[in-house]
Amino acid sequence: MKNYKIIISGPVGAGKSTAVRALSDIDVVDTDEIASDETKIMKANTTVAMDYGVLNISDNERVHLYGTPGQERFDFMWDILSQGGLGLVLLVSNAYPDPFDDIRSFLQAFGEFIGKTSVVIGITKTDEKASPSIDDYHTELGDLIRQIPVFEVDARDRVDLVMLVEALLLSLEPE
């Protein structure tokens, strides 16, 4: 069995659990812990541990989906997660105060993993807050995201997520 991994990360409430659930073939394994006070304030009943889903591609190929909040105390896991990694799906909520900064810090935190694989960015909740626009992200972040697919997505909409995964795979250098 060949195992591949796609990591879905981003700030609390950006839509990671929703995305894993929408893509996975199996019922998502919920490993929610009791949220810290801080995250409780941001969103009730959120993931602080990990979401797990799977795509059964063929008899001997499987893609594992890991949703990780990327909080610092989970630093130690990223090494394990990145073995067989195809790339990172970074979800960022447009409704949060500083999504530009969220992108900067997550791209930096996952820098090594992204260097070996690839990354796409999904901007969620643009229906709740339309600004900043995708154009604003490019203006603000410039070269940092120039070659990265940055799409508006609704984590509840599977079509959006599939487009994001397609761009992730296409962004990987072909073998």
In a 3-state reduction of DSSP, which class is residue 68?
Answer: strand
Q: Which of 6, 7, 17, 110 binds Mg ion (CB under 5 A)?
A: 17
Query: Which amino acid would we find at residue 168?
Result: L
Contact region for ligand GDP (CB under 6 A) — 26-34, 134-142, 150-158, 163-171? 150-158
Contact region for another protein (CB under 8 A) — 41-49, 89-97, 104-112, 144-152? 144-152
Q: Which residues in the 39-78 window bind ligand GDP by CB under 6 A?
A: 43, 46-47
Pairing of strands 29-30, 119-124: unpaired
Of 143, 162, 142, nearest to 151 (Cα)? Answer: 162
Residue 16 binds ligand GDP (CB under 6 A): yes
Residue 4 binds another protein (CB under 8 A): yes
ω into 132 cis (within 30 of 0): yes
Q: Which of 32, 33, 61, 136 binds another protein (CB under 8 A)?
A: 61
Distance, CA of 35 to CA of 26 (rounded, Å): 25
Backbone angles phi, psi at 13, to 5 degrees: 85, 5
Q: Which of 42, 49, 55, 95 binds another protein (CB under 8 A)?
A: 55
| Element at 120 (helix H, strand E) | strand 119-124
Contact status, residue 25 vs residue 55, Cβ threshold 8 Å: yes
Residue 9 binds ligand GDP (CB under 6 A): no
List of residues contacting ligand GDP (CB under 6 A): 10, 12-18, 43, 46-47, 124-125, 127-128, 154-156
List of residues contacting another protein (CB under 8 A): 4, 23, 55-58, 61, 63, 133-134, 138, 145-153, 159-160, 162-167, 169-172, 174-175
